[in-house]
Structure 1
Amino acid sequence: MKATNKLTIIPLLICFLFLSTSGWAQLQTIQFDSLYSTYLKEVRQIQVIFPKQNDPDSKDSLNVFYVLDGEWNTSLSETALDFLKYAQFVPTNTMIVSIPNKYKNEINRRERDFTPTQVKDYNESGGANNFLLILKKELVPYINEKYPTQKENNVLYGTSWGGLFAIYTYLHEPLLFKSYLTVEPVLKWDNGYINRIASEKLENIMSAKNTIWISSRDGKDFERMGIAEFDSLLTLKAPKELQWKVVTYPDETHFSTIWKGLYDGLKFIYKE
């Protein structure tokens, strides 16, 4: 058995060394940018990461992968996208727009931006509508104007509260993004607020060819997070043109699920 393992490792090492010297591992072109939000009266930083081998001044159109919680979700997103591009599961003309959170007095304000309702003990909660307006009215138009994007192929990626916000965005503005990739969305927020509004919202979504990916832990966590109920609502009410998939993973944590969920989710949303 040990010998077999060594024989397996050798070609993997060779493959890794090859990739390290190939175009897959070339340096990214990164631009740091910002815009002022009239809705929150604050400057929001963004990071634009172009595909490898892409000229930032090129007029070739690009898919855009928007990453919430950019300060910690971007690195893994880059790695997963680059690997899956090399493996020919993801279009090579895909750029990343990283959206880091706003901090005040070293306090992360994602609670304010990602949660749809005011909840006791969460003093800043309930600002998701304003943050959605930032994306709809300011950030996405800004990116589409400044860069040669394929507007019809935008993807929004969020984990945890960011996943909650991504589902909220789909229910309220399904056409803003083509695909919504979420890992461990906290759909239990405010006693299942999303599930309370989802039935009516889903019935009113017309002519939107979206893709939704949801991944989470299995078992009691799948139920406790409110994802099982949303899965049932999708089964009953999903718009005809919606492509969706809910996947659960055993023996994972709230954070470790991100590795598997992002990888599998990227393959799913780009499978066409």
Structure 2
Amino acid sequence: MVNRRVRHWLLAVALALICTIGMAQAQPGGASDAVAKDTPLQHLPALRGDYFLHASAAVGRSFHIYVRLPEGYDPDAPQRYPVVYLLDGDSLFPILAANHLFLTYDDGLPEAIVVGIAYGGFESSVNRRGYDFSAPAADAREDQGGADRFLALLREELLPEVERRYAADPMRRILFGQSRGGYFVLYSAFVAPDLFWGRIASNPAFDPGRGRFFAAPPAAVRDDLGLVVTSGARDWPALRESALAWFDAWRDRQDAPWAVHLHTVPDGTHAADSVNSYRAGMGWLFGKRDGGAR
């Protein structure tokens, strides 16, 4: 049995702990606040903007939508901004949305609304990028083939919602995707060329259904569309070879509904150079179209 002195000591410790917790709760920004609340992006000005959860009828799952708004953004002003849609927003939104600010400083890139489409985790039970970003094809695996549904999510749900909520310019939509996301960027270009003004496919995959990316796409209504493929000099050999072969096939074709551009990232690897791909692709789309490889 615990003696009286020990009981008194335990009571004193308990009272001190209760007082400490109470003081933290009473102080704004105290320890309990940090535990009880998510840290808002409003305290990261390079990412300041908005967030909403989108329950997709087309895909049958929900997505976390993060929005970075331009510096000085005023929803009541007449100005309308280009909108960049980032696939794999779980990882690419905090990297590329923040870096866009520096590109406006250093490169004169126009400010833009940057939208990150996120799954909310990397676990395969949550993150279905392999399915969403690959199209049906004879050589597709069982866990691939959902690109048509994901395209419907963009075209019928997310793009209209973003353009309803924010001061977006529907004539300046840009889609960025890396690796499997780059595959989806190409897929959208060949299925719905007019949906995005600009597209950047960073180190894209070309399978399944590789042949669709060498076949004739539908004609476009607009004549100002651009499609950039970036390829790291040290990307996986199969992807590097496919990117070069694709560009060679499309360099001089007359049936392309978009101007095409291949950019090689010097010493670039597969996943670590998204900022370089973004910089090169956005710079070319906004006024540096020269039609050649560099």
The residue type equivalent to 2:117 in the other structure is: I
Question: Displacement, 1:122?
Answer: 4.2
RCO greater where, 1 or 2, for CA within 8 Å and sep 6 or more?
Answer: 1
SS class of match (1:202) = coil
Aligned residues: 243
Aligned to 1:227: 243
Residue deviations 1:39-81 (CA, integer Å, cap 9, x gap): 1222222011101222355553121011110010112212331
Residue deviations 1:213-266 (CA, integer Å, cap 9, x gap): 111123784654521221122114254663221022343321123232122112
Q: Tell me which structure has the larger Cα radius of gyration.
A: 2
Aligned to 1:151: 170
SS class of match (1:151) = strand
Aligned to 1:260: 276
Question: Which of 108, 111, 129 is the matching residue for 1:110?
Answer: 129
Question: Displacement, 1:148?
Answer: 2.0
Identity of aligned residues (%): 21
The 2-side partners of 1:183 and 1:210 are apart by 17
Between stretches 100-109 and 171-180, larger displacement belongs to 100-109
Question: Which of 102, 116, 141 is the matching residue for 1:83?
Answer: 102
The answer to whether the 8 A contact 2:96-2:275 is kept is no
Aligned to 1:49: 68
Question: Which of 76, 79, 85 is the matching residue for 1:60?
Answer: 79
Aligned to 2:31: none
What does 1:2-13 align with in structure 2 at a 5 Å threshold?
none
TM-score (ref. length: structure 1): 0.79
Q: Does 1:95 align with 2:113?
A: yes
The 1-side partners of 2:113 and 2:137 are apart by 34
The answer to whether the 8 A contact 2:46-2:98 is kept is no
The residue type equivalent to 2:279 in the other structure is: Y
TM-score (ref. length: structure 2): 0.73
SS class of match (2:145) = coil
SS class of match (1:112) = helix
Structure number having the greater helix percentage = 1
- For the aligned residue pairs, the C-alpha RMSD in angstroms reads 2.7
Question: Which of 223, 227, 249 is the matching residue for 1:212?
Answer: 227
The 1-side partners of 2:263 and 2:87 are apart by 21
The answer to whether the 8 A contact 1:202-1:238 is kept is no
Pick closer, same or farther for the CA change 1:215–1:79 going to 2, 3 Å: same
The 2-side partners of 1:47 and 1:269 are apart by 23
